[in-house]
Structure 1
């Protein structure tokens, strides 16, 4: 038996406001009322009920303007956010207006107060840390937020103030819904004033905890940081589904510390094995803990947001905890490595998670070419090798047996990238599907990859590696194409051992052109996101490359447009 216990859903009060033929159809429906999410009434269309698992039309009678007006007459006044409610309930009615501002559509969402949802994160709530909740619409963010406020106020006897922008947490009307317990509620006159009410709550009412729903603007993010710096525990929700979504959102990234471009010295860049310009966290996060909500019974927890953000910026999978609750109410948790979306210096795109333990690199060898970095945008598993240039050391154990892949016969190689981009090297490994992992210590390596200038500057250290029997591969430049060529030499890949999905005419030099163009747009995106430039105009490119550049800009919520005649047509990146 599930431990969820509904306090009330006041469904009768919502049904009483609807036209009789809609109410009757809902009461006669075989679907459980507990699964009802919302009722949709659009002018000239059939009324529709939306449940957790399905949607259905209630009857074959179209909604009229008179029926919409009759519903509006029985509910509260619509605010600037076009939301209204029924006093002392949690139901929310949202309006769709025409160009003359007349309401021609209604979404009547069923509000429920539920005991027990906080159990899955109760230890985090008790800790006093600030908690940020993320999740898709309908996953129960507001329900969990309301229950958290009640538990903190009633069971822990803390002074809790709820900043309720659309009256969704504590219901419509001046008397708050009993679902928030002893917590106090401050209503917000208009969404644009939410940040002011947040500061007012701290200055006037001495709260120990502030609860905020839907942090969505830069001013609200700044107000949240101000509150956290005053030692008040914050519990809030934000627009976004995952931590990595939030990091690439220029408006809200400050909630997790913000991101800035930093130029490293030569020695530090070599020590890290990265380029000289990297992205780093700008400040301590506003929220200590972040919870990604999949449902009431399944969440992913980052109990150290700072460490998780730093890991993602290093191109690593951040440590996380997957929690679930079974039908008996028992909460189970397992430590995982949560893989993230592809973004400049923010890791890879996979969206999955795996349990900790095991060799990280070998776990990824089974899938078809990696989806990180430029590989996904180029749609290629690597160029077919027509020539193999440059001297390279021979690899022990390399056997070229006809009829089998040479790479499969070579033991897993541990590669130390000396001055070479780790993210690009990892993408090259995944795209070629070769048994190799990247290590952080040269002493653990079975081979080293470096660039010509680093080889000249640090010849003694690299020669020491060679003297110890560790081969050193010298790349011409820091591109995926060069890395793939060297990996092909290491693993004795022959022509045909891996696919060229780009097709004829997009190999060799043209691959370099694409990579150069994407490096250019990546640098432009960083400049715009960090506020260094309001607008960056890129070099003229072909229509194919411009499409890739537009895709990258769109991925980071930036605007882009093409301008100029075809021969000189180029992309402009701006906010």
Structure 2
């Protein structure tokens, strides 16, 4: 990686004493910027922190002397040094007089885009996101040079503040053969963008800091004309752009849509939802979290659609180690008890080596986890055992179901994971069951990609078209009487040809604990103890304490998990559950 900074030219505009201090400074080569504020001590900023260059406050004469050496400032209060990438920004008082300067070091770093070079070569439009100072402009400059010099493309840079190609009429060598169009005023950037396409026949347009609605609209116009776009925008993540009404058009725009009854049931969502309005302007998005850690969304449209439906994306994470090796991992969202939305990364180094079983079906049956030593000895109380289930972390480990692994097949001989098309079944509950039990199941939104259909019986009876489509595609339909967690669990087991466990599986109790409040957990604990200590061993019915309708529903589902019958009786607010033996 080669670095060119022309630092001496920036130091020459500073006062003599400050220049000497910086020239002899041990961190001179890593200088980020120099700040001169009237009446304050001059400050030098480095990656490791900031430090004062002098104990004497900055005077107006020193600031004016720097301005004379720099030249005039533009409408955006920025100036530069000719043939360099340095940027000098001014702070003015109410009367327009400059009372502060930020002298930022500009560096051309060759080789910074090695992490995404394969994406640049695809010809797709790329959007770079990141906080200020993370290196977006540096990466943009290197992308322009690579496209122009190494891929022989016609590249035009829209340089609103001369930050990409430097100050002056002759662009900096760091952009290679790429051409640069300067912008006379920041408000005209969108016009210059359109002008570049109409007059200069570019294959690639490079834009820095897309920040207005007109610029976002101009970027869409350019993309629709078949020109590759490479641009940057301020924002740490895709979610920031979705929530930003000014820039949301870059990701396709957001609109509220009212779904039909059938579609709402199929999705398991409310009828009014947010959806993407149009195809995104950019096809790929890169979140620059750190200088050597970039998160890549290879299909921006899919990422936006997933976020709008409440699903966490699974982007690539690309990093560079100290030896310059590029590591690519996949950022996954783990469903693990109360840790909703927790992230983990899975290496892609073994990609393409074939599907590997996690070992949970090695015996063809789900094996219950062993009880703790206290429970085996009968010394643990019901409450401590219930809390043990809450604290159990082994569910996130795919090997907790067995050590041996082998390739398995679905009910019709298809490879696992099994792709299921849910209809009228809560997707949230399906995700819970699949995640907690670690089932090899993937939910799909497309019927053509499905191996089976999971639907409520009442919906299937009233939907002749669904039955016809399933018959035409030879897809089995697994019907549920009700969309409760126990019935969903049994249906997925039947689809996967898994035998029902003879012993109650502790893992399945976790399914009832997602988002449960203290009162709900107390009620579930009461029902569990009644079943396990009285109803099953003694064969006697048990009445529970009065509970609210919502809590009673959870107790009914827990009792159904034990294959027992329960009824609610009494009048509110004293209505309660009665559990009967089998």
TM-score, normalised relative to structure 2: 0.65
Alignment check: 8 A CA contact 1:256 1:305 kept? yes
Alignment check: 8 A CA contact 2:242 2:254 kept? yes
The Cα RMSD (Å) is: 4.7
Residue by residue, what CA displacement relative to the aligned partner does 1:145-204 show, whole Å, maximum 9, x if unpaired?
001111111111111100000100001111111111111100001111100000000001
Residue 404 (structure 1) aligned to one of 367, 381, 385: 385
Q: Which residue of 2 aligns with 1:119?
A: 114
Find out whether 1:303 has 2:298 as its counterpart.
yes
Q: Which residue of 1 aligns with 2:259?
A: 264
Q: Which residue of 2 aligns with 1:178?
A: 173
Q: Aligned in 2, Cα 1:18/1:350: closer, same or farther, shift over 3 Å? A: farther
Q: Which residue of 2 aligns with 1:337?
A: 332
Find out whether 1:195 has 2:190 as its counterpart.
yes
Query: What is the CA-CA distance between 1:418 and the residue it aligns to?
Result: 7.5
Query: What is the CA-CA distance between 1:257 and the residue it aligns to?
Result: 1.1
Q: Aligned in 2, Cα 1:148/1:186: closer, same or farther, shift over 3 Å? A: same
Q: Which residue of 2 aligns with 1:493?
A: 524
The alignment partner of 1:405 has SS state of helix
Give the 5 Å matches for 1:469-488. Answer: 471=486
Query: What is the CA-CA distance between 1:338 and the residue it aligns to?
Result: 6.6
Q: Which residue of 1 aligns with 2:204?
A: 209
Alignment check: 8 A CA contact 2:236 2:289 kept? no
Alignment check: 8 A CA contact 1:449 1:472 kept? no
Query: What is the CA-CA distance between 1:335 and the residue it aligns to?
Result: 2.3
Unaligned runs of 5+ in 1: 340-347, 361-395, 474-480, 498-507, 510-575
Q: Which residue of 2 aligns with 1:220?
A: 215
Q: Aligned in 2, Cα 1:470/1:72: closer, same or farther, shift over 3 Å? A: closer
Unaligned runs of 5+ in 2: 335-339, 349-354, 359-367, 376-380, 396-419, 445-449, 468-476, 489-511, 529-547, 550-582
Residue by residue, what CA displacement relative to the aligned partner does 1:386-431 show, whole Å, maximum 9, x if unpaired?
xxxxxxxxxx99x99522216828998xx999768756998x99xx
Query: What is the CA-CA distance between 1:464 and the residue it aligns to?
Result: 5.1
Alignment check: 8 A CA contact 1:41 1:48 kept? yes
Q: Aligned in 2, Cα 1:277/1:45: closer, same or farther, shift over 3 Å? A: same
Q: Which residue of 1 aligns with 2:480?
A: 465
Query: What is the CA-CA distance between 1:456 and the residue it aligns to?
Result: 13
Count of residue correspondences: 442
Distance in 2, matches of 1:67 and 1:92, equals 18
Distance in 2, matches of 1:420 and 1:16, equals 70
Residue by residue, what CA displacement relative to the aligned partner does 1:92-137 show, whole Å, maximum 9, x if unpaired?
0001111111000000000001111121111111111111111111
Q: Aligned in 2, Cα 1:247/1:467: closer, same or farther, shift over 3 Å? A: closer
Query: What is the CA-CA distance between 1:316 and the residue it aligns to?
Result: 1.5
Residue 19 (structure 2) aligned to one of 3, 9, 23: 23
Query: What is the CA-CA distance between 1:236 and the residue it aligns to?
Result: 0.6
The alignment partner of 2:220 has SS state of helix
Query: What is the CA-CA distance between 1:258 and the residue it aligns to?
Result: 1.4
Q: Which residue of 2 aligns with 1:327?
A: 322
Which protein has greater RCO, CA pairs closer than 8 Å, 6+ apart? 1
Distance in 2, matches of 1:493 and 1:434, equals 18
Alignment check: 8 A CA contact 1:120 1:323 kept? yes
Q: Which residue of 2 aligns with 1:63?
A: 58
Query: What is the CA-CA distance between 1:333 and the residue it aligns to?
Result: 1.1
Residue 146 (structure 1) aligned to one of 141, 144, 159: 141
Distance in 1, matches of 2:319 and 2:305, equals 26
The alignment partner of 1:404 has SS state of helix
The alignment partner of 1:202 has SS state of helix
Q: Which residue of 2 aligns with 1:239?
A: 234
Distance in 1, matches of 2:95 and 2:283, equals 46
Distance in 1, matches of 2:245 and 2:288, equals 22
Distance in 2, matches of 1:108 and 1:95, equals 9
TM-score, normalised relative to structure 1: 0.66
The alignment partner of 1:195 has SS state of helix
The alignment partner of 1:215 has SS state of coil
Residue by residue, what CA displacement relative to the aligned partner does 1:306-351 show, whole Å, maximum 9, x if unpaired?
1111122222221311111223332221222379xxxxxxxx8768
Distance in 1, matches of 2:103 and 2:428, equals 47
Q: Which residue of 2 aligns with 1:96?
A: 91
Distance in 1, matches of 2:478 and 2:203, equals 60
Distance in 2, matches of 1:297 and 1:406, equals 42
Distance in 1, matches of 2:484 and 2:138, equals 61
Q: Aligned in 2, Cα 1:20/1:436: closer, same or farther, shift over 3 Å? A: same
Find out whether 1:12 has 2:27 as its counterpart.
no
Alignment check: 8 A CA contact 1:118 1:144 kept? yes
The alignment partner of 1:317 has SS state of coil
Distance in 2, matches of 1:259 and 1:49, equals 43
The alignment partner of 2:386 has SS state of coil
Distance in 2, matches of 1:118 and 1:484, equals 43
Distance in 2, matches of 1:408 and 1:260, equals 42
Query: What is the CA-CA distance between 1:52 and the residue it aligns to?
Result: 1.0
Q: Which residue of 2 aligns with 1:230?
A: 225
Give the 5 Å matches for 1:71-110. Answer: 71-110=66-105
Alignment check: 8 A CA contact 2:35 2:101 kept? yes
Alignment check: 8 A CA contact 2:82 2:167 kept? yes
Alignment check: 8 A CA contact 2:132 2:234 kept? no
Distance in 2, matches of 1:89 and 1:285, equals 35
Q: Aligned in 2, Cα 1:338/1:51: closer, same or farther, shift over 3 Å? A: farther
Query: What is the CA-CA distance between 1:294 and the residue it aligns to?
Result: 2.5
Q: Aligned in 2, Cα 1:74/1:271: closer, same or farther, shift over 3 Å? A: same
Query: What is the CA-CA distance between 1:492 and the residue it aligns to?
Result: 6.0
Q: Aligned in 2, Cα 1:449/1:206: closer, same or farther, shift over 3 Å? A: closer
Q: Which residue of 2 aligns with 1:157?
A: 152
The alignment partner of 1:300 has SS state of strand
Query: What is the CA-CA distance between 1:250 and the residue it aligns to?
Result: 1.0
Alignment check: 8 A CA contact 2:266 2:425 kept? no
